[in-house]
């Protein structure tokens, strides 16, 4: 258990995402839990880790807190809906969805390595961060876009125990002109807000959240995250990303095998 939490934290710290996507299967395999049992504990660990990252983002003025609160608000009902759906879906179906998410994320990350990084075309942005104020220009279009991102993240958070950087960051980068650092910091704040709601809804709907186990798992996850953030600057980003892609593919393959068995 402590090893699983530490490994999840290390991956979170090194890649900036992946907490829920790795925490859920880590708990499923290490504890023999079902997806429904693992999701609230995994979400709790990711939420606490995100809070720590968000505090750091606030200290560097990177968090776009109005956008984050809008996404969290828009994601509140989809989070509740996802939690309710998860309680009524079969284990095989949830694992199949989870494996599909892992494969899609791995493909997206691999594609990022194949293309050259370039400045985003301002004409493609549906929500703009003002270059003078550093804040979003709030229009009906930008409100709709940011609220939609929050809704998608909330649904995935409640249903699969994931969301975070794998959904919010790429969508913010695609539909807005926010910087990568700003997208990550804002995403972490959203995760902390939406994750808190997700854990609360799961407990209200009868999910089991063992206190001692959860506290230890959260503590080891946070410790791994803090340690990884200190060493991340010494590792080539492309190498870290390829390791992460390989890990995602391995977990997805193991889940597919378990479904077929």
Instruction: List pLDDT tens digits, range 21-64.
Output: 678 878 888 888 887 788 788 888 888 887 887 887 898 888 99
Residue 207's alpha-carbon distances to 27, 45, 74, 76, 148, in angstroms, are 15, 15, 23, 18, 27
Q: Which residues pair with 127 in a beta bridge?
A: 176
Question: CA–CA separation, 212 vs 216, rounded Å?
Answer: 6
- Contact (Cβ atoms closer than 8 angstroms) between residue 168 and residue 153: yes
Q: What is the pLDDT of residues 115-174, one digit of tens each?
A: 654 444 444 578 888 888 888 999 999 999 999 998 988 887 777 766 566 678 778 877
Model pTM above 0.75: no
| pLDDT value of position 121 | 46
Predicted confidence at residue 164, as pLDDT, reads: 62
How far is residue 53's CA from residue 59's CA, in Å, rounded to a whole number?
Answer: 10
Quote the tokens at residue 154: 């909330």
What digits encode the pLDDT tens for the residues 61-95? 889 999 999 998 998 888 888 878 877 877 788 77
Residue 45 and residue 31: Cα distance in Å, rounded? 16
pLDDT digits (tens, 9 = 90+) for 197-253: 778 877 887 777 888 888 999 899 888 877 877 776 677 767 777 877 787 788 788
């Amino acid at each position: 258990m402590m090893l699983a939490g530490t490994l999840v934290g290390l991956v979170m710290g090194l890649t900036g995402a992946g907490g829920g996507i790795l925490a859920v299967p880590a708990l499923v395999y290490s504890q023999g839990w079902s997806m429904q049992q693992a999701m609230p504990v995994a979400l709790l660990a990711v939420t606490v880790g995100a809070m720590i990252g968000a505090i750091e983002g606030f200290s560097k003025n990177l968090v776009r807190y109005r956008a984050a609160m809008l996404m969290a608000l828009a994601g509140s009902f989809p989070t509740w809906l996802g939690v309710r759906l998860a309680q009524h879906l079969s284990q095989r179906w949830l694992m199949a969805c989870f494996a599909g998410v892992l494969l899609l994320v791995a493909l997206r990350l691999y594609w990022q390595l194949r293309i050259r990084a370039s400045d985003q075309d301002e004409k493609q942005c549906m929500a703009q961060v003002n270059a003078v104020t550093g804040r979003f220009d709030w229009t009906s279009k930008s409100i709709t876009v940011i609220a939609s991102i929050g809704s998608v993240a909330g649904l995935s958070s409640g249903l699969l125990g994931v969301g975070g950087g794998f959904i919010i960051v790429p969508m913010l980068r695609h539909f807005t002109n926010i910087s990568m650092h700003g997208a990550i910091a804002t995403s972490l704040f959203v995760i902390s807000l939406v994750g808190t709601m997700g854990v609360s809804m799961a407990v209200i709907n009868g999910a089991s959240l063992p206190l001692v186990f959860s506290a230890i798992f959260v503590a080891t996850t946070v410790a791994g995250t803090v340690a990884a953030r200190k060493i991340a600057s010494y590792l080539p980003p492309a190498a870290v990303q390829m390791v992460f892609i390989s890990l995602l593919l391995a977990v997805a393959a193991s889940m597919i095998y378990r479904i077929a068995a």
